[in-house]
Amino acid sequence: MRSKEAGALTGEGRVREHSSAAVAGKYWAVFRTQLLNSLAYPIDLLGRSLLIVLFMWIFMNLWRVTYGAVGASSIAGLTLADTMWYLMMAEAVMLSKHDLSETFSEQVKDGSVAYLLNKPFNFILYHFASGLGDSLLAFGGNLLIGSAVVWLMVGPPPGIAGWIFAGAAVVLSWLLDFCFSALIGLSAFVVEETNAFRWIYQKFLLLLGGVLIPLDFFPAWLQTISLNLPFAWIIYGPARLFVEPSLARLGHVFLQQCIWLAVVGGIVWVIYRRVVARLVINGG
């Protein structure tokens, strides 16, 4: 299998084509570099993860009072401990995802995109590999600190299956989130200001994705709408899988994530090819 985009100019000016393994190796190197870069500052990494303590403390106060007011040990099938572990996983995914839309739009606005586009790698895949390296470590830090705090508050976490299933689903979550980030970032080719799109997307994740509240607590009509949108499969899917792991649920989460990846990823690809073809760079 040959890849056209992997072609690179050799010293003699001939186009040399690489195998798929070489292409994967290239992005692996980008991922590894970012990973090592983040590992070089462990204190900074742990410091960034402290935010999850704040959120977990507020959630604990909110839901302890709410469960107490309702006077029931479970709401929509979730106990207080389930809710807190769900929120911990949801926050860990949310806080560790690497928002590339800002980087994208800055590079488009200041013209530095020109220097990246003529490099022998794909602009989109380069950013994904780089962002993944950062997200992986941030996720580890958030899980470590978040779990310690929630364990102290409500007791031990769900079983090992929850960790494995949720961990697998989180990788697809990042990929799906990355597609949205790319879409927002690429919009800088068309509109002047992309911040508004970014804020609104983040709020959709907080609300319809289930970061602030498990979707199970929604009224039925809103739950149906949320589950038919991609945001739920970025956050709710892995977090719910974490507290109630089952093969059937895992299959359902994967299926939804793959469907939305095909849809949103396809849109990103089409738009990327169009805007790059139309790109005009002035100056030097």
Partner 1 sequence: MGRQLSFVVALWKTNLLSAMEYRVSFLTQVIGMMLNNAIYFVFWIIFFARFEEINGWDLVDMLFLFGVVATGFGAGTYLFGNSVRLSSLIANGQMDYYLSLPRPVLLHALASRSNASSAGDFTYGLFSFGAAIYFSGSFGGLMLLRFTLGCLASIVVLISFLVLVQSLTFWIGNTSLLTRHAFNAIVTFSLYPITLFDGTAKLFLFTLVPAAFIGALPAEFVRRFDLLQLAQICAGGAVFLVLAVFVFYRGLRRYESGSAIQVRM
Q: Please tell me the distance from the alpha carbon of residue 168 to that of residue 267, in angstroms, as a whole number.
A: 24
Contact between 29 and partner 1 per CB under 8 A: no
Hey, is 19 helix, strand or coil? strand
Q: Please tell me the distance from the alpha carbon of residue 116 to that of residue 120, in angstroms, as a whole number.
A: 9
Do residues 174 and 97 make contact, with C-beta atoms less than 8 angstroms apart?
A: yes
Do residues 123 and 117 make contact, with C-beta atoms less than 8 angstroms apart?
A: yes
**Tokens 């976490």 appear where?**
157
Q: Cβ closer to partner 1: 67 or 254?
A: 67
Contact between 227 and partner 1 per CB under 8 A: no
Q: Please tell me the distance from the alpha carbon of residue 189 to that of residue 111, in angstroms, as a whole number.
A: 11
Return the DSSP state at 147. Answer: H
Contact between 153 and partner 1 per CB under 8 A: no
**Tokens 């959630």 appear where?**
59
Q: Cβ closer to partner 1: 54 or 263?
A: 54
Q: Cβ closer to partner 1: 153 or 207?
A: 207
Among 8, 35, 62, 114, binds partner 1 (CB under 8 A): 62
Contact between 86 and partner 1 per CB under 8 A: no
The contact pattern for partner 1, residues 201-220, with x = CB under 8 A and - = no contact, is: -xxx-xx----xx---xxx-
Contact between 47 and partner 1 per CB under 8 A: yes
Q: Cβ closer to partner 1: 117 or 206?
A: 206
Residue 181 sits at the vertex; the CA angle it makes with 241 and 95, to the nearest 5 degrees, is 50
Q: Please tell me the distance from the alpha carbon of residue 243 to that of residue 155, in angstroms, as a whole number.
A: 13
Contact between 225 and partner 1 per CB under 8 A: no
Q: Cβ closer to partner 1: 109 or 249?
A: 109
Contact between 195 and partner 1 per CB under 8 A: yes
Q: Which stretch binds partner 1 (CB under 8 A): 6-14, 66-74, 174-182, 263-271?
A: 66-74
In a 13 Å sphere around the CA of 60, the CA atoms on its Cβ side amount to: 17
Contacts with partner 1 by CB under 8 A lie at: 44, 47-48, 50-51, 54-55, 58, 61-62, 65-66, 69-70, 191-193, 195-197, 199-200, 202-204, 206-207, 212-213, 217-219, 222
